[in-house]
Amino acid sequence: MIDTNEVADRVAQIRADITSAGGSDVSLVAVTKSFGVDAIRAAALAGCDAVGENYAQELVTKVAQGLPPIDVHFIGTLQSNKVRLLASDVALWQSVDRESVIDELSRRAIGASILIQVDTTGERSKGGIDLSEIDSMRQRAEKAGLHVAGLMTIGPTDGSQAECEKSFRLLRELVNQQALAVCSMGMSADFAIAVACGSTMVRVGSALFGSRPIMN
């Protein structure tokens, strides 16, 4: 059971940490994967800017149960054949890193807002395109009628502060080069570092809700 008061307190602390790290206009996305709709309601009540979901079928189930009025971002690995299930419910697609996904979004979610996920760590299992592919991926998306709002990355697993800073500074530089608005980077363990490096959007789960429940 999610304690809404505790979530509100944690949101306030994260906002304070963001300010301390130098962030002045940073969006807070509450990562609610593996939690129930009560976590989404708590995030909305606490004033989070959006919630982030990783799994298509889980999000479909939650939508059927009824969601509060808060933007939903898709932040997980996206399969093109799942786009049709989510097209009417996702406000921002954060993890776009394949041409097939762009093509499907252009058919199922015309004019959708997306972030292009970039690999800034060399950990290929996390997804993301190579730096050399950014221009062509953006051009394909925009030609398909999608709105490229910015870039997203996932920092290094168990990385040192220096390793995190290297990853995050790289993405910030790429966002600047592309003259885009959104720089989505930083999660529960490293969001303060990301904000100090110029993040405009952080994706926080365990720092808000605790450890994720084990899925059956």
Q: Residue 216 pLDDT more than 90?
A: no
Instruction: For residue 191, give the CATH number of its domain.
Output: 3.20.20.10
pLDDT band at 214 (very low <50, low <70, confident <90, very high): low
Q: Residue 114 pLDDT more than 80?
A: yes
Q: Residue 1 pLDDT more than 90?
A: no
Judge whether 213 lies within some domain.
no
| Count of structural domains within the chain | 1
Question: Is there a contact between 149 and 181 (Cβ–Cβ < 8 Å)?
Answer: yes
Tokens of 173: 């530089």
pLDDT for the residue numbered 109: 94
pLDDT for the residue numbered 163: 96
Q: How far is 48 from 207, CA to CA, in rounded Å?
A: 13
pLDDT for the residue numbered 213: 76
Please list the alpha-helical segments (H only) found in the chain: 4-20, 37-45, 56-65, 83-86, 99-108, 134-143, 161-178, 191-196, 206-209
Q: In terms of pTM, does the model score above 0.85?
A: yes
Summarize pLDDT for 173-211 with one digit per residue, the tens.
999 999 999 999 999 999 999 999 999 999 999 999 998
Mean pLDDT (whole number) for 130-135: 98
pLDDT for the residue numbered 206: 95
Mean pLDDT (whole number) for 126-136: 96
Summarize pLDDT for 43-77 with one digit per residue, the tens.
999 999 999 999 999 999 999 999 999 999 999 99
Judge whether 216 lies within some domain.
no
pLDDT for the residue numbered 211: 85
Q: Residue 25 pLDDT more than 60?
A: yes
Judge whether 215 lies within some domain.
no
Q: Residue 18 pLDDT more than 80?
A: yes
Judge whether 177 lies within some domain.
yes
Judge whether 139 lies within some domain.
yes
Estimate to the nearest angstrom the gap between the alpha carbon of 49 and the chain centroid.
11
Q: What is the mean pLDDT of the chain?
A: 96
Q: Residue 159 pLDDT more than 90?
A: no
Judge whether 210 lies within some domain.
no
The domain containing residue 97 runs over which residues? 4-205
Question: Is there a contact between 195 and 26 (Cβ–Cβ < 8 Å)?
Answer: yes
* 96-to-114, 142, 180 alpha-carbon distances in Å: 7, 13, 15
Name the residue with higher pLDDT: 82 or 92.
Answer: 92
